[in-house]
Chain A
């Protein structure tokens, strides 16, 4: 990427296109499904909630729309937004394009926690209610251990932290795999489904449970954009520019990890969004995190709702794992944008 930085006009166009994509994704998420409910009737029902006109839906259609599709769509928005912004933030703070939200062991920790719950180690853990709790706890423990090993010391570098993350993730994954191997075929299947990520179990209570975490964490990550831009000149120089590098690093890693852990506990491990969305946004609007992070929030939200709409419709009534869809759409889109950019540059 050696062209001149993108113009304000282009950034504005991308931002508008992303918002339009989000609106379209929201409508698709509510309208598309095995039970046909017309677009106008869905919009009528949405408007009736804010006091405009009357809903013409039957009670079954209303239940499908408001108890199944709507919470699922909202949880998809939150998950996509959080994973994308966490990935972008990690890439900024580690100055590493391969960073994703699972870098410091969140995924492995959550995987182990969920497996403990699903396999019911020790008995008495009633799945599914224990699954999100233990997944969240596992994710947070993993990050805290990684930080304790790799994040301390006066001159500790981000490389040490990444390596600590690799070690912690490997250890937890081996424990998780062991537990999974020891369990019944039925448990193995359920663990497997959880690991691939899904929005199928979404309801309003899972939305309200993760919403506060996700809202605060997204706000912190987006606000860190300017700090991450300064930190692109390296640790020593950003300190000489007045940035308390270690404190900023701690705050943004804590926010990204906490938000990711909350999302993962609700929807399992959805791969690819966290790494691919910030990259696509970067290719479109340049390398400034003040632009990448807020646009990633909207783009990630729209992307995941689109992906979920595909996941639950192409093989209806059964569902495709969401991670399969995000990778299957994300990778070609990324390749197309990459090659288009290259053509423009040359």
Chain B
């Protein structure tokens, strides 16, 4: 059974259709990245898979259960989300911020228990955040902050994590750090990742599979090496893209004339 199954999903707002008849299955313990130009519907798709948007038609299943017939709490036990522009609260310690992840376990009226504290501590250790535990999360640098956001999503200990442009605004080193941390979770902890990325090189290098989206439809769905070399990719971006092999890794560059 797929960890995520999107079946014939369309999302309409008023008279405009943001995504149309999308079907997509992601196996457990794999990484699938959605690529496509601005306005392709990537964010709408991940928000729908995260349960924030209700599909106008079609359904999203996680482990065989319909995501949109669950309440918020049950959904939060199955899928964690990293939004494109996370809102960082003022005056909250990094530890308290990461501990928000345990809300679906202990509820809104009870305090976190030992299991919750342990889950938070483990993730903070894996992401080397222990030294920042008492720091105000707003005082962290961009890279550290994104690591805290990722820690919050991972400490939710869901099987599936959905990330919308998780490396926006980070320098190269921090981009790699975030993606490598995620890859580690996929390889060693069986996490299933559905992400959107603008950087086609990094998208190709880190995902097992790429889904190319344009004008709200799936244009191409396949192994990363195939999608980055496809003519459809150049067509969607309306420009010539070339793939250079650098020590076995695909690097996607625009061709300038």
A227 / chain B contacts, CB cutoff of 8 Å: 108
Q: By the criterion CB–CB under 8 Å, are A242 and B89 in contact?
A: no
In whole angstroms, what is the CA distance A21 to B103 when docked? 34
A4-B136, A236-B52 known; A288+B100 contact, CB < 8 A: no
B88 / chain A contacts, CB cutoff of 8 Å: 233
In whole angstroms, what is the CA distance A328 to B81 when docked? 47
Q: By the criterion CB–CB under 8 Å, are A243 and B89 in contact?
A: no
Q: By the criterion CB–CB under 8 Å, are B96 and A232 in contact?
A: no
B65 on the interface (CB 8 Å rule)?
no
Distance in Å: Cβ of A164 to nearest Cβ of chain B: 22
B223 on the interface (CB 8 Å rule)?
no
B109 on the interface (CB 8 Å rule)?
yes
Q: Among A236, A244, A287, which residue has its beta carbon within 8 angstroms of that of B90?
A: A287
In whole angstroms, what is the CA distance A230 to B72 when docked? 14
Q: Return the CB mask of B109-150 against A: 1 if under 8 Å, else 0.
A: 100000000000000000000000011101100000000000
Q: Among B51, B134, B138, which residue has its beta carbon within 8 angstroms of that of A240?
A: B51
Q: Among A233, A234, A244, A286, which residue has its beta carbon within 8 angstroms of that of B91?
A: A286
- Chain A interface size, under 10 / 10 to 19 / 20 to 34 / 35 or more: 20 to 34
Q: By the criterion CB–CB under 8 Å, are A234 and B87 in contact?
A: yes
Q: Among A3, A232, A236, which residue has its beta carbon within 8 angstroms of that of B89?
A: A232
Q: By the criterion CB–CB under 8 Å, are B81 and A240 in contact?
A: yes
In whole angstroms, what is the CA distance A299 to B51 when docked? 41
A241 on the interface (CB 8 Å rule)?
yes
Q: Return the CB mask of B65-76 against A: 1 if under 8 Å, else 0.
A: 000000111011
Within B131-171, the residues touching A (CB, 8 Å) are 134-136, 138-139, 156
A287 / chain B contacts, CB cutoff of 8 Å: 89-92
Q: By the criterion CB–CB under 8 Å, are B76 and A5 in contact?
A: no
Q: By the criterion CB–CB under 8 Å, are B136 and A240 in contact?
A: no
Q: By the criterion CB–CB under 8 Å, are B50 and A248 in contact?
A: no
Closest B residue, CB atoms, query A232: B89
A315 / chain B contacts, CB cutoff of 8 Å: none
Q: Return the CB mask of A231-270 against B: 1 if under 8 Å, else 0.
A: 0111011011111110010000000000000000000000
B104 on the interface (CB 8 Å rule)?
yes
Closest B residue, CB atoms, query A1: B91
B201 on the interface (CB 8 Å rule)?
no
A1-B90, A236-B52 known; A243+B136 contact, CB < 8 A: no
In whole angstroms, what is the CA distance A245 to B89 when docked? 17
Q: By the criterion CB–CB under 8 Å, are A223 and B109 in contact?
A: yes
In whole angstroms, what is the CA distance A248 to B73 when docked? 13
Q: Return the CB mask of B157-196 against A: 1 if under 8 Å, else 0.
A: 0000000000000000000000000000000000000000
A4 / chain B contacts, CB cutoff of 8 Å: 93, 134-136, 139
Q: By the criterion CB–CB under 8 Å, are A242 and B104 in contact?
A: yes
B18 on the interface (CB 8 Å rule)?
no
Closest B residue, CB atoms, query A287: B91
Q: By the criterion CB–CB under 8 Å, are B76 and A288 in contact?
A: no
Q: Among B52, B87, B134, B156, which residue has its beta carbon within 8 angstroms of that of A239?
A: B52
Distance in Å: Cβ of A93 to nearest Cβ of chain B: 13
Q: By the criterion CB–CB under 8 Å, are B103 and A230 in contact?
A: yes
Q: By the criterion CB–CB under 8 Å, are B92 and A241 in contact?
A: no
Q: By the criterion CB–CB under 8 Å, are B100 and A230 in contact?
A: yes
Q: By the criterion CB–CB under 8 Å, are A248 and B108 in contact?
A: yes
B30 on the interface (CB 8 Å rule)?
no
Q: By the criterion CB–CB under 8 Å, are B92 and A232 in contact?
A: yes
A4-B135, A241-B103, A244-B71 known; A236+B109 contact, CB < 8 A: no
Q: Among A236, A240, A243, which residue has its beta carbon within 8 angstroms of that of B108?
A: A243
Q: By the criterion CB–CB under 8 Å, are A240 and B80 in contact?
A: yes
In whole angstroms, what is the CA distance A224 to B104 when docked? 15
Among B77, B109, B135, B138, the one with the most A-chain Cβ atoms within 10 Å of its Cβ is: B109
A342 on the interface (CB 8 Å rule)?
no
Closest B residue, CB atoms, query A154: B54
Q: Among A5, A240, A244, A286, which residue has its beta carbon within 8 angstroms of that of B52?
A: A240
Q: By the criterion CB–CB under 8 Å, are B109 and A226 in contact?
A: yes
A230-B100, A288-B92 known; A237+B136 contact, CB < 8 A: no
Q: By the criterion CB–CB under 8 Å, are A233 and B86 in contact?
A: yes
Closest B residue, CB atoms, query A245: B72
B224 / chain A contacts, CB cutoff of 8 Å: none
Within A5-35, the residues touching B (CB, 8 Å) are 5
In whole angstroms, what is the CA distance A2 to B88 when docked? 12
In whole angstroms, what is the CA distance A207 to B27 when docked? 63
Within A284-298, the residues touching B (CB, 8 Å) are 286-288
Q: By the criterion CB–CB under 8 Å, are B80 and A242 in contact?
A: no
Within A264-316, the residues touching B (CB, 8 Å) are 286-288
Closest A residue, CB atoms, query B81: A240
In whole angstroms, what is the CA distance A3 to B87 when docked? 18
Closest B residue, CB atoms, query A3: B136
Distance in Å: Cβ of B90 to nearest Cβ of chain A: 6
In whole angstroms, what is the CA distance A287 to B101 when docked? 18
Q: By the criterion CB–CB under 8 Å, are A5 and B50 in contact?
A: no
Q: 5 closest Cβ contacts across the A-B interface?
A: A242-B76, A242-B104, A287-B91, A234-B87, A232-B89
> A residues within 8 Å of B by Cβ?
1-5, 223-224, 226-227, 229-230, 232-234, 236-237, 239-245, 248, 286-288
- Identify 7 residue pairs between A and B in the complex whose beta-carbon atoms are under 8 Å apart, listed by A's number: A4-B93, A226-B109, A237-B81, A241-B76, A242-B76, A286-B91, A287-B90
Further contacts, 14 of them, CB under 8 A, given A236-B52, A244-B73: A1-B90, A1-B91, A4-B135, A4-B136, A5-B136, A229-B89, A233-B89, A237-B83, A240-B51, A241-B101, A242-B76, A242-B77, A244-B72, A248-B108
